[in-house]
């Protein structure tokens, strides 16, 4: 998949609630996900199954109530960035949050090989 198509599909999937369904389609099986801070499990998650687990945890713990996802910003033929802005609440406590995150996606052989998230900690 060309990087522009890949980036557009990632953003469309996020906007349309197809994030988890898109993982198999868009990510390499050995992809790596890197958070800005250690949330108790280490900063790096390796492999598609681990990345799916991160998404499943987020959906089980957080309720997104609003937000915006930027169009993808391409950087050559191997990277793109997306800005995520969202509002929501923790399901268990009901505590509201506002979040802004920059995600950098590294592409290899037509699939996402690495994602890095930048946010205020």
**pLDDT on residue 119:** 94
**pLDDT on residue 41:** 81
**pLDDT on residue 40:** 79
CB-based burial, 46-55: b 16+ in 10 Å, e otherwise: eebeebeeee
Q: Considering the domain delimited by 3-119, tell me its CATH architecture.
A: Roll (3.10)
pLDDT tens-digit readout, 2-16: 999 999 999 999 999
Helix (H) or strand (E) holding 16: helix 3-16
Beta pairing class for 111-119 and 96-108: antiparallel
Average pLDDT over residues 81-105: 97
For 40, half-sphere exposure in the C-beta direction (CA atoms, 13 angstrom radius) is 2
Write down the mean pLDDT value for the chain. Answer: 95
pLDDT tens-digit readout, 48-76: 999 999 999 999 999 999 999 999 999 99
Break the chain into its structural domains and give their ranges. 3-119
Contact 12, 21 (CB under 8 A): no
């Amino acid at each position: 998949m060309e990087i522009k198509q890949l980036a557009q599909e990632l953003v469309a999937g996020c906007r349309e609630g197809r994030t988890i369904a898109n993982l198999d389609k868009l990510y390499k099986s050995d992809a790596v996900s890197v958070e800005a801070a250690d949330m108790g499990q280490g900063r790096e998650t390796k492999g598609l199954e681990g990345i799916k687990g991160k998404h499943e945890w987020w959906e089980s713990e957080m309720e997104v109530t609003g937000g915006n996802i930027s169009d993808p910003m391409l950087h050559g033929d191997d990277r793109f960035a997306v800005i995520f802005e969202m509002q929501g609440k923790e399901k268990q406590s009901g505590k509201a949050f506002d979040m802004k995150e920059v995600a950098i996606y590294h592409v290899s052989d037509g699939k996402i090989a690495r994602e890095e998230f930048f946010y205020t900690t």
